[in-house]
A = this chain, B = another copy of it.
Amino acid sequence: MNRLFTVVNVLGKMILVFGLTMFIPLGVALWGDDGAQPVFEESIVITFSSGLVMWLATRRYHRELQIKDGFLLVVLVWSVLPAFAMLPLLFYLPELNLSMAYFEAVSGLTATGGTVLSGLDKLPPSINIWRGEIVWLGGMGLIVLAVAILPLLGVGGRQLLNAEIPGPMKENKLTPRIAETAKGLWSIYAGLTVMCAITYKWAGMEWFDAVMHAFTTLGLGGFSSHDASYGYWDSPLIESVAIIFMLIAGINFATHFLAWRGKNLIPYRYDSEVGWCVVIIFFSCFGLAFYLWFNNVYTEPLIALRYATFNIVSVATTTGYSNTDYSLWPMFAPLWMLFLSAFCSSSGSTGGGMKMIRVRILYQQVYREIVTLMHPNAVIPAKVGRSVLANRVIFSVLVFLFVYSASILLMALALTLSGLDAVTSFSAAVACINNLGPGLGGIGPATTYALLTDLQIWICSFAMLLGRLEFFTVLAIFVPAFWRK
């Protein structure tokens, strides 16, 4: 239990900082006089006092964090922060119950972007900006998680991730250096967000929408302030801006960091994921545009290409925007898109799913297996890019895949058992575990998760956390050995 107190001590401090971020929507509420001020004031008071109590009550357990603490901290951050993030929603919307409010907050902080809310256009701006902000904060936390913390914890072969990155990110302890790395990554993340917001404004959005969507574009979180998502503007220019920034946010931020520090583009060439992601998405856009045109969904090839491209990039990068209800397209189209969402983002990005690097390692391993079958004594090194992989890393990646597939299957079965139809169940499991957002059937891009029962909502919330924290972080704390000295 001492471990729990040590970690709660850190968590308390993080909750205090998190409370500070609520002043932004409070400011928006005051400035626009949109009626949500009291809601944010109450939320800030509760968040601050909780954080303070947690921090002070556990002060004497303060010490440097160890590996096991890392697991626990990560799980607690992503499961406890939503309980505070949901407060403004819970207070402002009386029709929202606890399950739904927590779901919405988890969906934000895991950058999933599936929503239980409709009538978004009529919500106070401060509530919508808060929804966007938690996606953005979640994305920020995520980059650090993926680039600095998970590799230290060794989750799912994450050690590999930084094999090609020199310097501070390669340390082997949870040291203050993480803070330095984090600062560099965050500057880039924040800089890109500002650029994105300005470009959105230039392309035709209102300032408020530009900022809110810049938050959810860089976080790849898919929340919108309009029920119709990007269908609201129906503007190819705005969609192009979104496409560019979604692709940028789908790249490893460590690569952006190296490129920015070295002031050149070479790091992108040596990135072992970005090329594959771009090529697969590129061909999928043209292929699906042809398929839509061939099936008479759109009679104009260019219109088909526009809708195919925007929705594919959105789903493949696990953003979750849409500019039309693609769940009405012939079934292969949305299924292919869900398939892409499983592996088309890079590790170290704000995207979800298995990550391209793991798929490359798997591919490599299948090739090795076939060669070894024919030449049982051959020794073939496993290489991705310039790095030779240790068996340990390959094992982690293969086991990760197994746990990933098994989780999707078991979550889908659990949803079916609770009474949901097969297509909705499976697409919900995929959409939540990949942190994508919209699924198909009852939870398609034109609808929301609100039709689910409370139990189903909780299953989805758990699935989002599981996917976001890469399974093992969560599973580890359920193993009895974790709690032994």
Q: Using a CB–CB distance below 8 Å, which chain A residues touch chain B?
A: 67-68, 71, 153-155, 291, 330-332, 335-336, 339, 362, 365-366, 369-374, 376, 391-392, 394-396, 398-399, 401-403, 405, 409, 412-413, 416-417, 419, 421-423, 425-426, 472, 475-476, 479, 481-482
In the bound assembly, the distance between CA atoms of A417 and B339 in angstroms comes to: 13
Residues of B within 8 A of A416 (CB): 331-332, 335
Distance in Å from the Cβ of A228 to the closest Cβ of chain B? 25
Contact present for A335 and B403 (CB under 8 Å): no
Distance in Å from the Cβ of A451 to the closest Cβ of chain B? 16
A sample of 10 more A-B contacts (CB under 8 A), given A335-B416, A374-B481, is A71-B374, A154-B376, A365-B398, A369-B396, A369-B472, A374-B479, A391-B395, A394-B395, A398-B398, A422-B423
Distance in Å from the Cβ of A327 to the closest Cβ of chain B? 11
Complex A-B, nearest 6 residue pairs according to Cβ-Cβ distance, in ascending order? A398-B398, A332-B416, A332-B417, A369-B399, A331-B416, A405-B405
Contact present for A370 and B475 (CB under 8 Å): yes
25 A-B pairs (CB sep. < 8 Å)? A68-B374, A71-B374, A331-B421, A331-B422, A335-B412, A335-B413, A335-B416, A335-B422, A336-B413, A339-B409, A362-B399, A362-B402, A365-B402, A369-B395, A369-B399, A374-B476, A374-B479, A394-B395, A398-B398, A398-B401, A398-B402, A401-B401, A401-B405, A422-B423, A423-B423
In the bound assembly, the distance between CA atoms of A330 and B422 in angstroms comes to: 10
Distance in Å from the Cβ of A333 to the closest Cβ of chain B? 9
Residues of B within 8 A of A401 (CB): 398, 401-402, 405
> From A365, which residue of chain B is reached at the shortest CB distance?
B399
In the bound assembly, the distance between CA atoms of A376 and B172 in angstroms comes to: 11
In the bound assembly, the distance between CA atoms of A370 and B481 in angstroms comes to: 10
Contact present for B472 and A395 (CB under 8 Å): no
Residues of B within 8 A of A372 (CB): 154, 392
In the bound assembly, the distance between CA atoms of A474 and B88 in angstroms comes to: 58
Contacts A370-B475, A391-B391, A398-B399 given: A376-B67 contact, CB under 8 Å?
A: yes
In the bound assembly, the distance between CA atoms of A373 and B470 in angstroms comes to: 13
Residues of B within 8 A of A155 (CB): 373
Contact present for A371 and B481 (CB under 8 Å): yes
Most-contacted residue by chain B among A394, A399, A421, A482 (CB, 10 A): A399
Contact present for A365 and B413 (CB under 8 Å): no
Contacts A339-B409, A398-B402 given: A154-B373 contact, CB under 8 Å?
A: yes
In the bound assembly, the distance between CA atoms of A426 and B417 in angstroms comes to: 18
Contacts A369-B396, A395-B369, A481-B374 given: A413-B332 contact, CB under 8 Å?
A: yes
In the bound assembly, the distance between CA atoms of A127 and B392 in angstroms comes to: 55
In the bound assembly, the distance between CA atoms of A479 and B367 in angstroms comes to: 9
Residues of B within 8 A of A68 (CB): 374
Residues of B within 8 A of A475 (CB): 370
Distance in Å from the Cβ of A416 to the closest Cβ of chain B? 4
In the bound assembly, the distance between CA atoms of A153 and B153 in angstroms comes to: 37
In the bound assembly, the distance between CA atoms of A351 and B430 in angstroms comes to: 29
The 8 Å CB contact of A370, one of B371, B422, B472, is B472
The 8 Å CB contact of A373, one of B417, B419, B472, is B472
Contact present for B421 and A370 (CB under 8 Å): no
Contact present for B399 and A482 (CB under 8 Å): no
Residues of B within 8 A of A371 (CB): 479, 481
> From A396, which residue of chain B is reached at the shortest CB distance?
B369
> From A482, which residue of chain B is reached at the shortest CB distance?
B374
Distance in Å from the Cβ of A352 to the closest Cβ of chain B? 18
The 8 Å CB contact of A365, one of B154, B339, B365, B395, is B395
> From A412, which residue of chain B is reached at the shortest CB distance?
B335
